[in-house]
Amino acid sequence: MGSLDNITVVLIAQHRVLQKCLGETKDLSLVATPATELMTGNLKSFTTTLFMHMHLEEEVFYPELLERMKDRGSDISKTVEFIDEMKKIGAVVVIFLAKYDSPLKLKEGLNDFIQDLDNVIELMNIRMESEESGVYCYWDALQGVR
């Protein structure tokens, strides 16, 4: 990504893809005989998008945001705390993905998977809503600071 002007647009679009993958996986888990192969495929797509998203946020967006805030003379301590919380949510999701990384693991632990998936969906929604209504808006306000 050459210019960072549209980075929040890209990040939000990735959020929608992540939500769609999780929603489809949830729907597949609720049928009488869940298609664990399809569910695993959805989770792999989710994983790929999640890692791209986390890389863009953690390696590009967050460092640049903090730099722009510093340049403006802002106190970054609360933002650093926020970023740390977002990373913790990411770590929980990565653990979930490792726990259910095959059709066999899904089939054997389907009841736990459904509950764990609900928790991951809730965590991801909290993370996405927090970012979109917080740091992404702040980023847009800082455009042109550098």
Reported as a single tens digit per residue, the pLDDT across 74-133 is 999 999 999 999 999 999 999 999 999 999 999 999 999 999 999 999 999 999 999 999
Kindly report the average pLDDT of the chain as a whole number.
93
Residue whose token pair is 């399809």: 38
Stated pTM of the model: 0.91
Query: Which 8-state DSSP code applies to residue 12?
Result: H
Task: Give the separation between CA 78 and CA 23, rounded to whole angstroms.
Answer: 32
- The CATH code for residues 7-142 is 1.20.120
| CA dihedral for 39, 41, 42, 46, sign (positive or negative) | positive
> How many Å apart are CA 100 and CA 66, to the nearest integer?
35
Spatial neighbors of 69 by CB under 8 A, at least 6 apart, are 76, 79, 138, 142
| Domain ranges within the chain, ordered by starting residue | 7-142
**Residue 146 pLDDT greater than 50, yes or no:** no
